[in-house]
Amino acid sequence: MALTEIFVLIRKEMQLEWRNKYAIHGLVLYLAATIFICYLSFKAKQQSIHPIMWNTLFWIILLFSAVNAVGKSFTQESANRNIFYYTFAKPESVIFSKIIYNTLVMLGVSLIGIFFYSWVMGNPVGNMPLYLISLILGAIGFASTLSLVAGIAAQGENSATLMAVMSFPLIIPLLLLLLKLSKSALDGISLSENWDEIAILGALDIIVIVFSGILFPYIWKH
C-alpha cells in the first residue's frame, strides 16, 4: 500500500534524524544564533523595532532556516542508498514522505523560532491564532516547494549553490502571500476577513504538492 510505504519512509527519516542528532541540533542552534544576531543588530542598538520590520525579519530567518533544513533532504544519504530506496519504494511515496517529514521539521522550527524570537524581540502580533495559521501554511509551502527543488539540486554538481539560486526566486510568490497574511495578523485583523488570503495560500500549497507528485518521478529515475 502506498500509505503504509509513506509511513515507513517517514519513520525511517525520523530514526535517521534521531540517530545522528547533530543535524536537528545544528538547525536549532542556527535558528537561535540568527535570531540573536538580529536582536543584537536591531533591538539592542535601537531599543525598538518597527512591527513590519519585525515580521519581515522573522520570515527571512524562517526562509533561510528552511533552505538549510530542506536542502539536505537528498544529499545527506549516499547515492547508493538512494538507489536502494529506488528499488523498493514508489517515487511518489518518497517525495510525499519527504514533504510530510519536512513539514513537521518546519512546524517545529517555526514554533521554536516564534517562541525564541518573541522572547528577545518582543511580540507585537495582534491576532496570534491567525499568525499561527500563517506559520502552518508557510511550513507546508516551504517544505513542499523546497523538497522538489532539493531533489533537482541534488542532481547537479554544486548542489548548495543550485539550491539557493533555484529556491529563492521560486519561493517569492509564497513568501509575498505569507507576508501579506501575517501582516494582517500583526494588525489584529480578524480571521473572517482573511479567508481570501488563506484560500489562495492553501491553493498554492496544494498546486505545489500536486506538481511535486507529478514531476518527482522523472527526477528520481536515473
Partner 1 sequence: METLKRQYWKILSIILLIYTVYAGFNGQVPRQPILNETIRNLYFHVTMWFTMIFLLGTSVYHSIQYLRKSDLKSDLISSTYVEVGMVFAVLGLITGSIWAKFTWGDWWTNDPKLNSVAIGLLIYLAYSLVRSSMPDEMQKARISSVYNIFAFVIFMVLIWILPRMTDSLHPGNGGNPAFSKMDLDNRMRMVFYPAIIGWTLLGFWIAQLRIRIKNIEQQNEL
In the complex, the residues that contact partner 1 under the rule CB under 8 A are 148, 152, 155-158, 162, 165-166, 168-170, 172-173, 176-177, 180, 197, 200, 204, 207, 211, 215, 218-219, 221
User: Can you tell me the distance from the alpha carbon of 114 to that of 124, in angstroms, rounded to the nearest whole number?
Assistant: 12
Determine whether 172 is exposed, middle or buried from the number of CB atoms within 10 Å of its CB (0-12, 13-18, 19+). Answer: exposed
Q: Closest separation between CB of residue 106 and partner 1, Å?
A: 19
Give me 201's grid cell.
495560500
Q: How many CA atoms lie within 13 A of 222 on its CB side?
A: 12
Q: Closest separation between CB of residue 199 and partner 1, Å?
A: 11
* Residue whose CB is less far from partner 1, 31 or 166: 166
* Residue whose CB is less far from partner 1, 14 or 206: 206
* Residue whose CB is less far from partner 1, 67 or 162: 162
Q: Closest separation between CB of residue 82 and partner 1, Å?
A: 14
* Residue whose CB is less far from partner 1, 17 or 187: 187
Give me 29's grid cell.
542552534
Quote the longest CA-to-CA distance of the chain: 57
